[in-house]
Structure 1
């Protein structure tokens, strides 16, 4: 017995007409009649009494109709569960700038490679991400430093370029030495982050204190920083992925510090392979193989 034949049977029993079901289902009437005949043959019972006015269920047909709905719904539920098996949701957490600017396009590229994957992405701080991966809240995390947690594996996957953005009216060169930007008005994130840490270390290397630079605003987000720079209030160090669209639109300038490397690495963290599903291992291996090309 084919489930398709049972579905046709249910429709015919409802409208009491083979021709109407044939028309609505875009199948020829002889072909549909043949489907019903095969169903009757497989059950060894006549299901319909046919006449010029349509069809009527036999006693056997009434019994089959009673069970048909449950059989069809059970079959569809089975298909749904089989589909969900191949559409496993992978829960991913990333530090704010990674989750906001780097991972969305990266996950879109991964979705093209694995249509059966579904990704649930959130942003958080690195300590929380590490603990949530350990506690199976997320399968994968993206942070800016190698983890020290013994239960986790951390592997470098992408190097994020850091650029100095400035208003177009400042006319800063594309390459600039660190000391040559220290007289600028700076806009920074309120919270500590890898960019601020690397900037502080670079200043320390030239015997300059971070607190001595002219910070005109400490903001909650990179989006807010971009707004102030766009309006001509100062300069800021940001991830290139966070500003490449605005730069292409000529909203502001981009400069690179030539004598100090402010770039940072992005690490993928996860549990040991024996604790991971096949889909998660598939994601991790492909993400690592794509490396720097994952975001472009």
Structure 2
């Protein structure tokens, strides 16, 4: 099985058209069809059902597509490692909020300690990070959950404070009880995240259901949440690191909930030490020495 044929297969499966992929790839349609036929022959399975309307995956095609992305990414990682043998790059993945607000400062500290190391930080979903560490797509991952895979190690390395942000005009106190803010309008993230889960648990302890609070917006990013809070639409729970640099502007008020903690731990995941390069071992060992409150 040739990797190029697998790449073409993946594109066709997503676009559902051999002719469109041929045009985009600057290859003739008969030549592309031949590539796919060779892939089908090598696997002994029909991968597409062809019609005048385009192509549709067979059941076997669905199975191949399930693995194609990971195979291609591992192949690209191999090429990258071959190119970087002389100047090793450590690939790091973190959940979106962690990679955006928490890790850059920590990795800069590591760069000062190891100036010859190169770090490539990528944001990804939690389940993808675990799989990518297993598959050697990245060497180190950071998630809000400890790993379930026995082949991986997870260590609690960071404790992230969670704060309530509100428009300055609301004039909320520095410390406030959770029950005192439930009448406000809330802005939250669409995606499932640990802050939302901890908020739900705290509400349940108070005898409230999450669906009872007034949620006026469910947004895709913490930056979007902050924008609506600045404009006075409501309040939100966010990681402290996401607003730390905004405080001097006095557009947001930061409060801590004094009767419940929504703070959460961040775990560093990797393979076992005997499977790691010396550079990755140095990164892991010294990252743990930074302490749990890295950027405060």
Same fold (TM over 0.5): yes
User: Hey, what's the Cα distance between the residues in 2 that align with 1:232 and 1:126?
Assistant: 32
- 2:143 is aligned to 143
Name stretches of at least 5 consecutive residues in structure 1 with no aligned partner. Answer: 1-83
| Cα shift at 1:86 | 6.4
Q: Is 1:259 aligned to residue 259 of structure 2?
A: yes
Question: What CA RMSD, in Å, does the superposition of the two structures yield over aligned residues?
Answer: 1.4
SS at match of 2:281: helix
Write the distance in 2 (CA, Å) between the matches of 1:85 and 1:248.
Answer: 44
2:218 and 2:148 map into 1 onto residues whose CA distance is 30
Q: Which residue of 2 aligns with 1:173?
A: 173
Q: In the alignment, what sits opposite 1:92?
A: 92
Rounded to whole Å, the distance in 1 between the matches of 2:220 and 2:246 is: 19
User: 1:191 maps to what in 2?
Assistant: 191
TM-score after normalising by structure 1: 0.70
**What residue number does 1:115 align with?**
115
Question: Retained in 2: the 8 A contact 1:86–1:116?
Answer: no
Q: Distance in 2 between matches of 1:104 and 1:239?
A: 14
- Contact 1:93–1:141, Cα closer than 8 Å, also in 2: yes
Question: For 2:100 and 2:199, how far apart are their aligned partners in 1?
Answer: 21
1:278 maps to which residue? 278
Alignment partner of 1:294: what SS?
A: coil
CA distance in 2, matches of 1:124, 1:277: 23
CA distance in 1, matches of 2:248, 2:242: 12
Q: How does 1:120-131 map to 2 (within 5 A)?
A: 120-131=120-131
SS at match of 2:218: strand
Task: Give the SS at the match of 2:290.
Answer: helix
- Shift of residue 145 of structure 1? 1.2
Q: Do the aligned residues in 2 keep the contact of 1:86 with 1:117 (CA within 8 Å)?
A: no
Identify the residue that residue 217 of structure 1 maps to in structure 2: 217
Distance 2:146 2:272 in 1: 15
Give the whole-Å Cα distance in 1 for the aligned partners of 2:295 and 2:85: 28
Cα contact 1:94–1:122 (8 A) shared by 2:
yes
SS in 2 for 1:202: helix
Residues 127 and 244 of structure 1, relative CA distance in 2, 3 Å threshold: same
**1:163–1:257 Cα contact (<8 Å) kept:** yes
User: 1:287 touches 1:294 (CA, 8 Å); kept in 2?
Assistant: no
Shift of 1:85: 5.3
Aligned to 2:161: 161
In 2, Cα distance between the equivalents of 1:190 and 1:197? 12
TM-score w.r.t. length of structure 2:
0.70
Shift in Å, 1:292:
2.7
After TM superposition, where is structure 1 displaced by more than 6 Å over at least 4 residues in a row? none
Q: What is the rounded CA distance, in whole Å, between the counterparts of 1:112 and 1:215 in structure 2?
A: 43
> What is the deviation of 1:211?
0.6
- Tell me the matched-pair count: 214
Q: Distance in 2 between matches of 1:283 and 1:155?
A: 14
Q: In structure 2, what is the Cα distance between the partners aligned to 1:163 and 1:147?
A: 26
Query: How far apart, CA to CA, are the structure 2 residues paired with 1:293 and 1:167?
Result: 26
Distance in 2 of aligned mates of 1:220 and 1:149? 29
Correspondences of 1:65-104 after superposition (within 5 Å): 87-104=87-104
Other-structure match for 1:241: 241
Which residue in the other structure is 2:59 paired with?
none
Measure how far apart 1:295 and its partner are: 2.5
Q: Secondary structure at the match of 1:226?
A: helix
